[in-house]
Structure 1
Amino acid sequence: MVEAARASHNSPFGMPGITGDYARAVPSDLDLLDLRVIRALADTGSVTAAAARLGYSQPAVTQRLRRAEAQLGQPLVLRSTRGVTLTEAGRRLAQHAVHVQAALDAARQELDELAGTTTGTLRLAGFPSASPTLVPALLSTLHDRQPGLTVSYVEVEPPEGLDLLRSGSIDLALTFSYPGDGRGQAPTSTATTPDVVVETPLYRDTMLAVAPAGSFAGSGAALATLSGARFIGGCPRCRGHLLAACRRAGFEPDIVLETDNALAVTGLVAAGLGVAVLPSLSLVSAGLPDGVESRPLDGDDDRVVHVAHASGAERVPAVRVAVEALASLDPARFGLRPLRPDVSTRG
């Protein structure tokens, strides 16, 4: 036992207070602040911006960086007139920084759980149509179940939400995917380095063709009947889905207007200025005005709603209770259908 403890202490990849794979991956002569500095440099690309993010002076960040490089015996950044770029060693440490922070958060909150409550802060991000629907229901459930938990929220599109997770700026993100974008119906890694961020699919969200009343006369496919209409596009990913869906229906859409606001889209359709494709979730809050109707798209064209977090963060009590609260919501209340992944391995 003594020899084993001594070997762990002397190993260049041991870190007191942290156990498991994360401990073996982080040199013992680095501390959490060193890792936070390297992570901030990776995210911002400059010492000045990293210092501002961390709330330290530029000389303090520079000193920390030089100290870490001296202890490791190799450079972590390459400096130029345009900022800094991480070396291979720097990039690997920056990736581990997310896991180490998650492990420390888990340890801290598990101790809180011993006192019978979940406390601390959960930083949540979600996409626009989740903001007036899933997010209020989730926050209300968390308030009832864990009144000691403070939750912050920011609305961003899924790519930005995943970037915030990778940087450690948030703890949990609601995202969505479309058919054919490479993110299926099983939990998957979304980063080039395996398991940095894991997305778990939760719900199916039916995609709807939205048009002035009477546009869907006849028995033809909903989207094909609109081939001669002017279309309203949305965010870049939503526009990509619209293009792909129309091409599968045999035509190229004439996109003349663009807005991410579902309420604005239905207003434009009601005014006879175009037709659109919207997810059911967005119509829960926006609704359909008089003179507008919708039809589900044909085929397997639903989008999938996911919950995402950093790999290992499921051990953090605040993250775990939030995921459990999200899974407890009634999807039918939001026009969604439950999705049970058949595969439980990561991408």
Structure 2
Amino acid sequence: MLDVRKLRLLRDLADRGTIAAVAAAHNYTPSAVSQQLAALEREAGAALLARTGRGVTLTPAGAVLAAHAEEVFAALERATAALAATRTGLTGPLRIGAFPTAMRTLLPTALATLAREHPGLDLTVDELDPALVPARLRDGSLDVALVHDYDLVPIAPDPALETAPLLDETMYLAATRPLDLAACRDERWILAGPGTLCHTMTIRACEAEGFLPRARHHADDFVTVLTLVAAGQGVAVVPELALRPPSSPSAAAAAAPSSPSDPAPVGPSGPGAAPVAPAGVVLTPLRTRRRTRFAYRAGTGAHPSIAAFTAAVRAA
């Protein structure tokens, strides 16, 4: 019988690439990780690792076992979720991750609802870039997260995770006068930080119009971005949620999707008021869209705490 804890180390080695990285993630020493993986090889009756200089790689047998590990972990998560469903009341920690605009517009009302309806839940929230979420879900330091990607910058599926759609947003060009994207070839731009999804999305949207944007400023906070636009410092691309007021409990009755599996549209084509530009800023809708999803470990979507969270956010 294969030991699940050792199997998790093998899976993490496939994800992280080095024994040192796996050791750091689990607060083990590299020697302890190596010993556990050697024990797993004995249990499997096959060589799972091959030495390559100072490092190791997975053998074909190791790669097969690591791939099947995801099915094992998902089954365990489903069993845990089913067991939790037999208990009365929701208790214990629920660790949530979210990106900044979701923190401002979606979570306050949802957290207030959860605290009122399920006082036994211990809610904690980390604000972080969606690119950091998969690793945090896999290592168990998050239980559920709000993530986003763009139709121009899709994120590859992760076999360790599952997602459910929440909403699709219109992206807007923000400037001090009416402009379309093609007319911004010679404008100065306010871009998100290099390496972020928003930065990559803006680059690709401009490339589709035949030019590269010339960056004057870099800012990741959309309130700052819009303030700089209003000050005549450049043009920028911003999402719908950046143009919404902060969430409040009175907004809990805002429109939700007709089916839990259908994303709710926002913006002029969806429910709710049209986005409001700050004074001095003109908004032009673009073709590109941002898609927000729930993300959680495979098999945990039916866990009562996660189901309660997703329901509260949809209501918000």
TM-score with structure 1 setting the length:
0.70
- Tell me whether 158-167 or 126-135 shows the greater mean CA deviation: 158-167
Matched, 1:138 2:98: no
Q: Tell me what 1:154 maps to.
A: 126
| Per-residue Cα deviation, 1:247-271 (whole angstroms, up to 9, x for no partner) | 4456543322222121221232232
For residues 315-330 of structure 1, what are the structure 2 equivalents within 5 Å? 315-329=302-316
Q: Tell me what 2:297 maps to.
A: 310
* C-alpha contact 2:97 2:144 (8 A) present in aligned 1: yes
- Equivalent in 125, 132, 151 of residue 179 of structure 1: 151
Q: Tell me what 2:225 maps to.
A: 265
Whichever residue aligns with residue 144 of structure 1, its letter is: R
For residues 16-35 of structure 1, what are the structure 2 equivalents within 5 Å? 29-35=1-7
| Per-residue Cα deviation, 1:71-129 (whole angstroms, up to 9, x for no partner) | 21112222345433233333343344444344334433433432312233333222222
* C-alpha contact 2:151 2:290 (8 A) present in aligned 1: yes
| Per-residue Cα deviation, 1:19-41 (whole angstroms, up to 9, x for no partner) | xxxxxxxxxx1122112222333
Change (3 A) 1:94 1:317: farther
Matched, 1:120 2:96: no
* C-alpha contact 2:81 2:302 (8 A) present in aligned 1: no
Structure-2 separation of matches of 1:70 and 1:282: 54
- Equivalent in 267, 287, 295 of residue 283 of structure 2: 295
Structure-1 separation of matches of 2:143 and 2:68: 16
Change (3 A) 1:110 1:297: same
* C-alpha contact 2:25 2:139 (8 A) present in aligned 1: no
Structure-1 separation of matches of 2:42 and 2:191: 53
Q: Tell me what 2:136 maps to.
A: 164
- Equivalent in 196, 209, 222 of residue 173 of structure 2: 209
- Equivalent in 230, 239, 242 of residue 282 of structure 1: 242
Q: Tell me what 1:10 maps to.
A: none
Q: Tell me what 1:21 maps to.
A: none
* C-alpha contact 2:169 2:239 (8 A) present in aligned 1: yes
Say how many residue pairs are matched. 285
* C-alpha contact 2:152 2:288 (8 A) present in aligned 1: no
Unaligned runs of 5+ in 1: 1-28, 184-188, 330-347
Q: Structure 1 vs Structure 2: percent identity of aligned residues?
A: 35
Structure-2 separation of matches of 1:177 and 1:67: 40
How many Å apart are 1:274 and its aligned residue?
A: 1.0
Whichever residue aligns with residue 245 of structure 1, its letter is: A
- Aligned with 1:312: secondary structure? coil
What CA RMSD, in Å, does the superposition of the two structures yield over aligned residues? 2.9
Change (3 A) 1:42 1:139: farther
Q: Tell me what 1:198 maps to.
A: 162
- Aligned with 1:313: secondary structure? coil
* C-alpha contact 1:268 1:274 (8 A) present in aligned 2: yes
Q: Tell me what 2:34 maps to.
A: 62
* C-alpha contact 2:152 2:205 (8 A) present in aligned 1: no
Structure-2 separation of matches of 1:111 and 1:307: 22
Structure-1 separation of matches of 2:313 and 2:63: 33
Q: Tell me what 2:191 maps to.
A: 233
Structure with higher RCO (Cα < 8 A, 6+ apart): 2
* C-alpha contact 2:48 2:62 (8 A) present in aligned 1: yes
Structure-1 separation of matches of 2:51 and 2:114: 45
TM-score with structure 2 setting the length:
0.77
Structure-2 separation of matches of 1:249 and 1:63: 55
Change (3 A) 1:65 1:289: same
- Aligned with 1:132: secondary structure? helix
